[in-house]
Amino acid sequence: MNRDRRVKLSRRMSYLLRHNPAAGNLRPDERGRVDLGELAEALGVPEEAVREVVARDPKGRFVIERNAIRATYGHSIDVEAPGEAVQPPAVLYHGTPRRAVEAILREGLRPMGRQMVHLSVTRQEARVVGRRRDTEPVILRIDARAAHDAGIEFRRSGSVYLAPRVPPEFIAVDS
């Protein structure tokens, strides 16, 4: 499969596994897992194509566990928090459109349409995330260690860190 086809298939997998499994007649378990063969059937592709997307995904978006597959992050559907509770690095980043900054500095980062807030390890990754919504996104610097010390639980899953929320006192515009 070329990259273009992989990206297209990956998007459809994300949609079913994160947001709308019912659209593929899929019934995820409490961790968001569905049967790999059933997902492939819902997508109308061979199981091997799904496996290739998972193996080559640059962000670790999916994991296969025995004959089941799940998304590692990004869920809007109610799943048990993915990944594992960890002590985060001292600093994490979050890329957001300019128009959201004022509200975020006032009320903190909220999960909005998803189950968790998503944080990036590097400024570069945060920029890519923010560019989905704005040509000149703002990079926010998250004092993750202090937030963790204050009792906010961080999880690591796929290539991202997850938190239920980040209060404003731990957020600054990256200089």
**Residues lying near ligand HQG in the complex (CB under 6 A):** 14, 59, 61, 74, 96-97, 100, 103-104, 107, 109-110, 112-114, 118, 129, 133, 160
Residue 72 Cβ vs ligand HQG, minimum distance, rounded to whole Å: 9
- Phi (first) and psi of residue 149, to 5 degrees: -60, -30
Residue 158 Cβ vs ligand HQG, minimum distance, rounded to whole Å: 8
Nearer to ligand HQG, 41 or 97 (CB): 97
Nearer to ligand HQG, 3 or 66 (CB): 3
Q: What residues pair up with 161 in beta bridges, in sequence order?
A: 119, 156
Residue 168 Cβ vs ligand HQG, minimum distance, rounded to whole Å: 9
Longest CA–CA span in the chain (Å) reads 48
Residue 60 Cβ vs ligand HQG, minimum distance, rounded to whole Å: 9
DSSP character string of 45-108: S-HHHHHHHHHH-TT--EEEETTEEEESS---S--PPPSEEEPPPSEEEEEE-GGGHHHHHHH-
Nearer to ligand HQG, 37 or 172 (CB): 172
The CB-nearest residue to ligand HQG is: 96
Residue pair 24/43 in contact (Cβ under 8 Å)? The answer is: yes
